[in-house]
Structure 1
Amino acid sequence: MVPPLALDIDGTLTTPSGRIDPRVFELLADWDAPVVFATGKAFPYPVALAHFLGRPETVIAENGGIAYVDGETAVLGDPAVPRAVVAAFEARGGEVGWGAGDAVNRWRETEMALSLDADEALLREVAATADGDVEVVDTGYAYHVKSPDLSKGKALDRVADAVGLSPEAFVAVGDSENDASTFAVAGESYAVANADATAREAADAVLDEAYMDGTAGLLADLRERGE
């Protein structure tokens, strides 16, 4: 039997240019165990990926701010402080960096995300003086302003329980500091070769290959192990 999976998306199921690797559809559509997509992206993104794979839409979004399983949505965070931080950041001349449309934050319910082109030093300065608990997480794709009480790992505890499993049953794969909490609760954890230092240190092992190349190789090994 193959194990259940907790998979990051960006940097883990993608190519170096940021596209979803087509092997995702070959390898995960028929994976015979629960697959949880655990991402920093807003809620619609992992739901859409699961939908087009024909899989149950079992997802963790916004770095643990939202958990969705069996048609039930749990919004686990309050966006008030992150939004106030970003408003103060903009008032001091900072720019969110996504352009006028800002589809990145349009559907975001518990946190805010800023482009890596944003002034990180100013953002962290504003966050440090915020009226409320808040942290800035650099995922390598955006700066996320979020509650420190939220994490992918805590959300995986919740989702695993909802599907009748222990989080220790899951194999987790990721590439960024926001995956370290998932690695801490999963039974096995792997950082792809492009992972940042925090993810590498938190993982049980670092894969030899990067991006989806590393994930695809691991999935093949897990399938062979389960035969």
Structure 2
Amino acid sequence: MVPPLALDIDGTLTTGSGRIDARVFELLPDWNAPVVLATGKSFPYPVALANFLGRAETVIAENGGVVHVDGETAVLGDAEAPRAVVEAFRERGGDPVWGPRDTVNRWRETEVALSLDADGTLLREVAAAAGGDVEVVDTGYAYHVKSTGVSKGQGLERVADALGIDPDEFVAIGDSENDVSTFGVAGRSYAVANADGAARDAADVVIEESYMDGTAGVLADLWTRDV
């Protein structure tokens, strides 16, 4: 049988221009095992994608801050401390770039995402001064100010437990430092060619192709092995 999957979205199921690759709708709807969408995006995004794929809403959002499986939603991150860090960042002259009406953070429950055009050095300095409960993660698409106590990997452990599946059975595919924890939990991990250094170092295999080209190749190989 094909293995259960833990899939990042941005940079993994997308094209180089950031669009969802159409092959997602060819390869994933009939995948005969659980598919977990694990992303740094806020909760509505992976839920919407799961629905468009016709799959169960099994998602890890906000880098592990929100986990949804078997109809149950767990909010695991603490938004108060990240928001305080961003406010202190503003007071120090930092500009989050995205305005108060941005949709990036409109539905975000446990963290705050800032544009990569923001001053990352200052942001990390402010986060460090706040103590050890908050960290800044650069996903290649945004700076995420989040609780240190949550991660995609911990989210995958929670999902696997709810589904009655050994985490070691999962195959994980991703492209960023926020996927490192997922790679550490899954039994087999792949980094697409566009992955950052942290993801490449943590993965069992670095794929030669980028974005969905790489992911599609892995999925096709896993499907071929099954048949």
What is the TM-score normalised by the length of structure 2? Answer: 0.98
Structure 2 counterparts to residues 70-149 of structure 1, below 5 A: 70-130=70-130, 133-149=133-149
Q: Find the counterpart in structure 2 of residue 32 from structure 1.
A: 32
Q: Find the counterpart in structure 1 of residue 225 from structure 2.
A: 225
In 2, Cα distance between the equivalents of 1:4 and 1:97?
A: 38
Question: Does the 8 Å CA contact 1:81/1:132 hold for their aligned counterparts?
Answer: no
Amino acid at match of 1:72: E
**2:47 maps to 1:52:** no
In 1, Cα distance between the equivalents of 2:149 and 2:204?
A: 24
In 1, Cα distance between the equivalents of 2:91 and 2:52?
A: 40
Partner-residue secondary structure (3-state), 1:105: coil
Change (3 A) 1:147 1:100: closer
In 1, Cα distance between the equivalents of 2:193 and 2:173?
A: 11
How far apart are 1:95 and its partner, in Å?
1.5
**2:56 maps to 1:68:** no
Identical-pair percentage: 76
Partner-residue secondary structure (3-state), 1:103: coil
Partner-residue secondary structure (3-state), 1:106: coil
How far apart are 1:92 and its partner, in Å?
1.8
Q: Find the counterpart in structure 2 of residue 23 from structure 1.
A: 23
How far apart are 1:99 and its partner, in Å?
3.1
**2:199 maps to 1:194:** no
Amino acid at match of 2:185: V
Q: Find the counterpart in structure 2 of residue 162 from structure 1.
A: 162
In 2, Cα distance between the equivalents of 1:156 and 1:187?
A: 12
- Name stretches of at least 5 consecutive residues in structure 2 with no aligned partner: none
Partner-residue secondary structure (3-state), 2:105: helix
Partner-residue secondary structure (3-state), 1:37: strand
Q: Which 10-residue stretch deviates more, 83-92 or 211-220? A: 83-92
Partner-residue secondary structure (3-state), 1:51: helix
In 2, Cα distance between the equivalents of 1:116 and 1:168?
A: 34
> How many residues are aligned here?
227
Partner-residue secondary structure (3-state), 1:12: coil
- Name stretches of at least 5 consecutive residues in structure 1 with no aligned partner: none
In 2, Cα distance between the equivalents of 1:128 and 1:221?
A: 43
Question: Does the 8 Å CA contact 1:15/1:212 hold for their aligned counterparts?
Answer: yes
How far apart are 1:101 and its partner, in Å?
1.7
Amino acid at match of 2:85: V
Partner-residue secondary structure (3-state), 2:37: strand
CA offset digits 1:100-139 (Å, max 9, x no partner): 4211111111111100000111111111111561111100
Partner-residue secondary structure (3-state), 2:77: coil
Amino acid at match of 1:205: V
Amino acid at match of 1:168: D
Q: Find the counterpart in structure 1 of residue 43 from structure 2.
A: 43
What is the TM-score normalised by the length of structure 1? Answer: 0.98
Q: Which 10-residue stretch deviates more, 93-102 or 61-70? A: 93-102
How far apart are 1:212 and its partner, in Å?
0.1
Question: Does the 8 Å CA contact 1:81/1:131 hold for their aligned counterparts?
Answer: no
Amino acid at match of 1:137: V
Partner-residue secondary structure (3-state), 2:40: coil
Q: Runs (4+) of structure 1 moved beyond 3 Å?
A: none
